[in-house]
Amino acid sequence: MLEIKKLKKIFNRGGINQVTAIHSLSAFIRNGDFVTVIGSNGAGKSTLLNLIAGTYLPDSGELLLAGENATRWPEHRRAAYVGRVFQNPLLGTCATMSVEENFALASRRGLRPGFRWGVTNSQRELFREKLKLLGLGLEYRLKDKVGLLSGGQRQSLTLLMATLRRPRLLLLDEHTAALDPKTAEQVLNLTRELIQEMGLTALMVTHNMKHALELGNRLIMMHQGRVILDVDGPTKAHLTIQDLLNEFSKLKGQDLTDDKMLLI
Amino acid sequence: MSLYILVGAVEQGLVYALMVLGVYLTFRVLDFPDLTVDGSLPLGAAVSGALIVRGMDPFLSLLLAMCAGAAAGCVTALLATRLRIMSLLASIITMTALYSINIRIMGRPNLTLLNQPTVLDALSFIGLPRYLLTPLIFLGIIIGCKVLLDLFLHTQLGTALRATGDNPQMIRSQGVNTDMMVILGVSLSNALVALAGGLVAQSQGFADVGMGIGTIVAGLASVILGESLVGAQTVFRQTLNAICGSLLYRLTIAVALSYRVGFLRLTPSDLNLITAVLVVICLTVPLLRTRLVMWKRAQGD
Ligand SMILES: Nc1ncnc2c1ncn2[C@@H]1O[C@H](COP(=O)(O)OP(=O)(O)OP(=O)(O)O)[C@@H](O)[C@H]1O
Ligand SMILES: [Mg+2]
């Protein structure tokens, strides 16, 4: 589904603040893989997701989406394949537009907008059905501006929107990090259900190792722009938090049990 | 203030409301501060005027004026999106270039349209006196444009355009090319402004290269005045507010010009100064209001 070949991203090239955020990274994500991605702050997780979505273009390397070379595709073109939820709950929706208008935009992800009505009645029915799944009462608030909703409600909305049109690849960047624990748990459950029911291929970045272990069939650990651990199947299923900590300290040759960056 | 002045102000408010809709589209919907309008208003006047003088149908000349306005907007948008020039600067560049272009189009800095056919003449068969006919025609045009704009902003394309102004990251990740939306929106805006310019030229009987000076500030003042009118924040209401803002602005100006302040009598050339002061007042009222609230709170503690 997604093939990354020796991808490299350097920020502020030539400047004093030059950072190599991604070091010649290669990975192959199979169809149906649900990958959780962990790593300390600045490991390059968000940069990797931005490179996949086309928000940034790489300095070198190749990126294949569903077999097509998408390395130079602009962000809006990749949107036909990729659904996204951002860490910032404000980024995924338009505050000044209504719930149904946001949904309508997402329902046409990757399609060229035309002169037809932005929202149709048959769509409204569908949106109501979908919103009922959230159990937040949003199905009665189709006409409300999204700006009136809470961060958790907006993030749940963004998640539904990202999966409204089946994405070939779903990218989730710490999408529960800005929410209170209870809401975060709800959004996480919704994530799990949606991915399972629709059989989606997904990459989920998280700082919560428990979540990283519980969810998905594959786990990738990143450090300083590189993949330092990539496990799947039964190996992943039997992994424990202590294993992860050991793995990390072994690879890096230092004891990290009390590293604040690796919050459990 | 005489009835004559009042009707004149209403007439101006209605015709310039087209320009205000354009400014609303860039400043408010797209979040793209566009100063091209100072050049595209006289551009519309110049194109329409020059074509009428050469014998073209006045209606058709307005259509071509709109196309010219759209082209000017397109240039600004291309400078901003493709060449990554800051939007404000990009529009100043286009505006400056338009000054020369407008003189080229007219062949000289101004053009008189007296004794030339205009859309107002074409509709004079209705039989109303001119001072009533003109505002009524302008009213019809502005209502038509408002309805069309409202409808457009609710199409797939229109919602994508609004989303571009609200949250470009979101709409890009929904697959919309935001550069195209900016080009579309700024072009549409300047087409409206050029239409206003063409109509102003036809009703005043002349086109002048300097007639666009202060357009953007007047447009902004109108948009802000309109926003001070209460109402639900729907697109329908916002465009209506923009039109009302334009009327309110022209009436305010007319009142300011018709009174003597002490020894000082304001003249039309003071218009830009009055507008500038008006915009500053409008922009600072919210700030002063919050300051006042905070000050009261501090007193209460
Ligand atoms: N737009 C940018 N400009 C310059 N440097 C950047 C930019 N984005 C990221 N970086 C740098 O790239 C490196 C990787 O950042 P990135 O945001 O990908 O980390 P992350 O793994 O997502 O971290 P976190 O867990 O804190 O979200 C960091 O050193 C960061 O400073
Ligand atoms: Mg990050």
- Of the listed ligands, the closest to the CA of A47 is 1
Q: How confident is the model at residue B159 (pLDDT cuts 50, 70, 90)?
A: very high
**Is the pLDDT at A31 greater than 80, yes or no?**
yes
CA distance B176 to B164: 9
Provide the ipTM. Answer: 0.90
* Average pLDDT rounded to a whole number, residues B244-259: 89
Gap between the Cα atoms of A150 and A164, Å rounded: 21
Neighbours of A246 (CB within 10 A): 14
Distance CA B81, CA B183 (A): 8
- Asked whether the predicted pLDDT for residue B76 surpasses 50, the reply is yes
Percent of chain A with pLDDT over 70: 94
Chain A residues contacting B, CB < 8 Å? Answer: 53, 55, 74-77, 79-80, 82, 84, 86, 90-97, 101, 104-106, 108-111, 113-119, 145
Beta strand pairing call for A60-65 and A218-223:
unpaired
pLDDT score of B1: 65
Cα A183 to Cα A193: distance, rounded to the nearest angstrom:
15
Q: Taking CA atoms, what residue in B is nearest to A98?
A: B234
Entry pTM? 0.91
DSSP result, chain B: --HHHHHHHHHHHHHHHHHHHHHIIIIIII-----THHHHHHHHHHHHHHHHHTT--HHHHHHHHHHHHHHHHHHHHHHHHTS---HHHHHHHHHHHHHHHHHHHHSSSEEE-TTS--HHHHTGGG---HHHHHHHHHHHHHHHHHHHHHHHHTBHHHHHHHHHHH-HHHHHTTT--HHHHHHHHHHHHHHHHHHHHHHHHHHHTEEEGGGGTTHHHHHHHHHHHHHTS-----HHHHHHHHHHHHHHHHHHHHHHHHSEETTEE--GGGHHHHHHHHHHHHHHHHHHHHHHHHHHHHHH-
Measure the CA–CA gap between B11 and A50, rounded to whole angstroms.
Answer: 52
End-to-end C-alpha distance for chain A, whole angstroms? 30
Nearby residues of B23 by Cβ (< 8 Å), 6 or more positions away: B34, B37, B189, B193, B216, B219, B220, B222, B223, B242
| Topology annotation, domain A2-94+152-263 | Rossmann fold (3.40.50)
Can you tell me the mean pLDDT for A100-114? 95
DSSP per-residue codes, chain A: -EEEEEEEEEESTTSTT-EEEEEEEEEEEPTT-EEEEEE-TTSSHHHHHHHHHTSS--SEEEEEETTEE-TT--HHHHTTTEEEE-SSTTTSS-TTSBHHHHHHHHHTTTSPP-SSBSS-HHHHHHHHHHHHHHTSSGGG-TTSBGGGS-HHHHHHHHHHHHHHS--SEEEEESTTTTS-HHHHHHHHHHHHHHHHHHT--EEEE-S-HHHHHHS-SEEEEEETTEEEEEEEHHHHHT--HHHHHHHHHHHHTS--TT-TTS--
**Facing residue for A94 by CB, picked from B157, B163, B175:** B163
CB contact under 8 A, A79 and B156: no
Please give the Cα distance from B99 to B209 (Å, whole number). 7
**Using 50, 70 and 90 to split pLDDT, how confident is the model at A264?**
very low
Nearest to B199 by CA among B4, B6, B9, B14: B14
Q: What is the pLDDT of residue A263?
A: 46
Look at A60-74, B172-186, B250-264 and tell me which has the smallest mean pLDDT. B250-264
Q: Cα distance from A149 to chain B (closest Cα, Å)?
A: 16
Q: Around ion ligand 2, which residues have CB less than 5 A away?
A: A 46
CB of A208 closer than 6 angstroms to any ligand 1 atom? no
Residue A122 tokens, joined: 């048959």
pLDDT surpassing 70 at residue B301: no
**How many A from CA of A21 to the centre of ligand 1?**
7
- The pLDDT, as a whole number, for residue B16 is 97
* Rounded Cα–Cα distance for residues A145 and B112 (Å): 50
Average pLDDT over residues A248-252: 67
What is the Cα A3 distance to its own chain's centre? 16
d(CA A122, CA A139): 14
B286 pLDDT more than 80 = no
Tokens 């500053």 correspond to what residue?
B280
Asked if residue A133 has pLDDT above 90, the reply is no
d(CA A257, CA A247): 11
For residue range A152-161, what is the model confidence (pLDDT) as tens digits? Answer: 899 999 999 9
The answer to whether residue A47 scores a pLDDT higher than 90 is yes
- Reading the block at residue B87, the tokens are 């939007």
Beta pairing, strands B260-261 & B264-265: antiparallel
The domain ranges of chain A are 2-94+152-263
C-beta A42 within 6 A of ligand 1:
yes
Cβ-based interface (< 8 Å): residues of B facing A: 154-160, 162-163, 166-167, 169-178, 233
Average pLDDT of span B232-237: 86
pLDDT, position A3: 93
What mean pLDDT do residues B263-292 have?
80
If one residue of A46, A175, A224 were mutated to test the ligand 1 pocket, choosing by the most ligand atoms within 8 A of its CB, it would be A46
Question: Would you state the torsion angle of the CA atoms of residues B289, B291, B297, B301, taken in this order, to the nearest 10 degrees?
Answer: -170
- Confidence (pLDDT) at B193: 98
Q: Flag the least confident range among A105-109, B105-109, B208-212, B290-294.
A: B290-294
Q: What value does the mean pLDDT take over residues B207-232?
A: 89
Least confident of A193-207, B140-154, B284-298: B284-298
Q: Cα(B244)–Cα(B294) distance, rounded to whole angstroms?
A: 32
Please check the confidence at residue B140 and state whether its pLDDT lies above 70. yes
* Position A260 confidence tier, pLDDT thresholds 50, 70, 90: very low
The mean pLDDT value for B199-207 works out to 95
- Protein residue closest via CA to atom 27 of ligand 1: A41
Shortest CA distance from A165: residue in chain B: B174
Sorted by where each starts, the structural domains of chain B and their CATH numbers stand as 3-300 (1.10.3470)
Whether A41 lines ligand 1, by a CB cut-off of 6 Å, is yes
Looking at chain A, which residue has its C-alpha nearest residue B172? A76
Asked if A105 lies within 8 A of B163 by C-beta distance, the reply is yes
Q: Confirm or reject: Cβ of A149 under 6 Å from ligand 1.
A: no
A-B contacts (CB, under 8 Å): 89
Q: How many CB atoms lie within 10 A of CB B134?
A: 25
pLDDT band at A162; cut points 50, 70, 90: very high
Evaluate if residue A253 carries a pLDDT over 90: no
> Averaged over B2-26, what is the pLDDT?
94
Q: Say which of B156, B157, B170 has its CB closest to residue A94.
A: B170
pLDDT at A188 over 70: yes
Confidence check: pLDDT of B283 > 80: no
Residue where the block lists tokens 């009213």:
B139
Give the residue among B72, B51, B29, B22 at the shortest CA–CA distance from B189. B22
Give me the mean pLDDT over the B202-208 stretch.
Answer: 95
Which residue in this structure is represented by tokens 């979540």?
A: A211
What CA–CA distance (Å, rounded) separates A69 from A5?
A: 11
Binding site membership of A206 for ligand 1 (Cβ less than 6 Å) = no
CA dist B243 to A240, A241, B39, Å?
65, 63, 21
Q: Identify the band that residue A254 occupies on the pLDDT scale cut at 50, 70 and 90.
A: low
Residue A233 banded pLDDT, cuts 50, 70, 90: confident
Residues of B in contact with A77 (CB under 8 A): 175
Q: How far is CA B73 from CA A177, B25, B67, B125, in A?
A: 42, 12, 10, 36
User: What mean pLDDT, rounded, does chain B reach?
Assistant: 92
Question: Considering only A39-43, B157-161, B177-181, B189-193, which range has the smallest mean pLDDT?
Answer: A39-43
**A102 has pLDDT over 70:** yes
Amino acid in position B73:
G
**Choice from A17, A36, A40, A45 to test ligand 1 binding pocket (greatest atom count within 8 A of CB):** A45
Average pLDDT for B33-37: 96
The half-sphere exposure of B172 on its side-chain side, counting CA atoms within 13 A, is 17
The per-residue pLDDT of chain A, averaged, comes to 90
Closest chain A residue by Cα to residue B163: A94
B274 pLDDT tier (thresholds 50, 70, 90): confident
Q: Dihedrals φ, ψ of B260, to 5°?
A: -95, 125
Q: For residue A44, give the ligand 1 atom closest to its CA.
A: 18
- Strands B206-208 and B110-112 come out as antiparallel
The closest residue, in CA terms, to atom 12 on ligand 1 is A21
